[in-house]
Homo-oligomer: A and B are copies of this chain.
Amino acid sequence: MAARTSPPVGTPEGLGRAPGLRERKKQQTRDALVQAAHLLFLSQGFARTTVDEIASAVDVSQRTFFRYFANKDEVALAVMAEAEDYFIECLRHRPAEETPLQALRASIVKAWRDLGNDRASGPGSISSALELLRIIEDTPALLAAHLRRVTEQERLVVEVLAEREGLDPAEDLRPVVLAAVFGSLVRSAHLSWTAEQEPAGPEGMVAVIERHFDQLGPALAGHWRP
């Protein structure tokens, strides 16, 4: 959550003064590590890539790698983490008239679309994120770490939702429940997208997500059989 490649679209982060050489170098190293790691993961898989390889691809010591990332998982999840942060930002700016569920749906769709438009390629790009998502889904260790991250993000969603509606999340279970439902909906959309031959790219993902949302009502409806 510390330093990021480039400020997510729409976030006012260009305020701080010029960062200074030291900061810039750190950012460079971090970016280089992420990119090198992704290339290696993509070509050889996550498990068969050692931290030493990543570090020496960027010409830093292994020790330095671990000063940037707490563990090997983190470097793989870095891009996704950024996307998730942007989603939260979107949610914060949804108009108050929207239903909580509507706001969530609109935010996630907007997040994927914006990231798709603004950063079509390059490191930290949307396509990297999507490629990574594939790797994550079929690397047990990564999937586990990712799921944990997601549930932490859910806690944030609860806060935003509660504040939006002026509720105390400790008293009212609705934000908690809705956040949980939303999270699982998105995840099962990811799963579909990864598994099936969905149209690739952010638009494909958006389509899958919309389809899942549309099934929420029917799924909860009484009986399924006609």
Q: Report A's interface with B, CB cutoff 8 A.
A: 99-101, 140, 143-145, 147-148, 151, 165-167, 172-181, 183-185, 187-188, 192, 211-212, 215-216, 218-220, 222-225
Contacts and interface: CB of A to CB of B under 8 A. Distances in A.
Contact of A148 (B144, B181, B215): B144
A120 B166 CA distance: 42
Contact of A215 (B140, B177, B183): B177
Contacts of A172: 224
B101 A166 contact: no
A219 B178 contact: yes
Contacts of A165: 224-225
A138 to B, nearest CB: 12
Name A's interface SS.
Answer: helix
Contacts of A176: 188, 192, 212, 215
B147 A222 contact: no
Contact of A173 (B145, B179, B212, B222): B212
Contacts of A188: 176-177, 179-180
A219 B184 contact: no
10 contacts: A100-B224, A144-B147, A144-B148, A172-B224, A174-B219, A174-B224, A176-B188, A178-B219, A181-B181, A216-B220
B224 A167 contact: yes
A183 B185 CA distance: 10
Given A144-B145, A180-B188, 20 more contacts: A100-B219, A100-B224, A101-B220, A143-B151, A144-B144, A147-B147, A147-B151, A151-B187, A165-B224, A173-B215, A176-B188, A176-B215, A177-B212, A177-B216, A178-B220, A179-B188, A180-B181, A180-B184, A180-B187, A184-B184
